[in-house]
Amino acid sequence: MKAIFVVGTAGSGKSLLASKMREHYTASGAFVASVNLDPGVEDLPYTCDVDVRDHVDIVSIMRRHGLGPNGALVMANDLVASKIGDVWAEADAVNPDYAIVDTPGQIELFAYRASGPFIATGINADERACAFLFDGMLVNSPANFVSIALLAESVRLRLAMPTVHALTKVDMAPSAADEAVSWSEDASSLAGALARDSSGESLELSTAILRGLDSAGLAPAITPVSSVTGEGLVTLWASLARAIDMGEEVVD
Ligand SMILES: Nc1nc2c(ncn2[C@@H]2O[C@H](COP(=O)(O)OP(=O)(O)OP(=O)(O)O)[C@@H](O)[C@H]2O)c(=O)[nH]1
Ligand SMILES: [Mg+2]
């Protein structure tokens, strides 16, 4: 089994992209299991084969602990780690070629909590890869780009998986997407945009972070995609295939 984790900030397009990924691998003849790790989601745009909501029930958490929706969501996300063994056992029983794992919007689960790496390494997969999504609607300034790139690296640091970066929703803001892609390809154009857009301490800080990412070879190459028009998806699938192969090389 190969496992692909779809990770990104809340609303960045994880679930819709996970549905397109399912369609892609199914069309290429593979057996796919879609795994939902988001206990708070109501509707999913794909058929879910393994669902954390069968193990963590947010409505009963609200009732039992007298919590509102936000408090219940925080508690539900904490409970995901304690139930993950059951979730992965179900995925193992399905035994797909690909498990596509849609993750919760609370990205701190993977970026900061101790349970993130535990969740990610628990699945019985031969190879793992991560698709990290930059929300096309958030990457609207060079400082935001740097900030999300740093978050992407925090997640990579924790999950230690080959990672591809996608810029989502490019159909909604095509010219901003072009700009963000040019920043991802050329650190000096990003540095120039930072200098035009900010000053003082915030310019110093964002420039220092960019320098750190760039000198470590970490400035991410991002593939612009739209899950609505399909733009860029073929390129993303190709990068994902390379990332999964990279995992195989590491294992060998
Ligand atoms: N126009 C456009 N809308 C998109 C695209 N991808 C996602 N959306 C929309 O953006 C909203 C959020 O998408 P989701 O796939 O639910 O995002 P998510 O990251 O799973 O959200 P959470 O699980 O709540 O963190 C939905 O209304 C989607 O239809 C895209 O490529 N283009
Ligand atoms: Mg979602």
CA 142, CA 135: separation in Å to the nearest integer? Answer: 13
User: Can you give the pLDDT at residue 252?
Assistant: 38
* Per-residue confidence (pLDDT) for residue 77, from 0 to 100: 85
CB neighbours of 230 closer than 8 A, spacing ≥ 6?
Answer: 20
CA of 178 to the centre of ligand 1 (A): 20
| pTM across the whole model | 0.94
Domains of the chain (ranges, CATH numbers): 2-135+160-172+222-251 (3.40.50.300)
User: Is pLDDT of 23 > 90?
Assistant: yes
Work out the number of other CB atoms within 10 angstroms of the CB of residue 25: 20
Percentage of the chain surpassing pLDDT 90? 74
Residues with CB under 6 A from ligand 1: 8, 10-16, 38, 41, 105, 168-169, 171-172, 226-228
Q: What is the pLDDT of residue 115?
A: 86
Q: Which of 32-41, 42-51, 107-116, 191-200 has the lowest mean pLDDT?
A: 107-116
Name the residues around ion ligand 2, CB cutoff 5 A.
14-15
Residues of 146-158 as b/e, b for ≥16 C-beta within 10 angstroms? bbbbebbbebbeb
pLDDT, residue 249, reads 52
Q: Burial of 65 by CB count in 10 Å (0-12 exposed, 13-18 middle, 19+ buried)? A: exposed
Task: Provide the percentage of residues in the chain whose pLDDT is more than 70.
Answer: 96
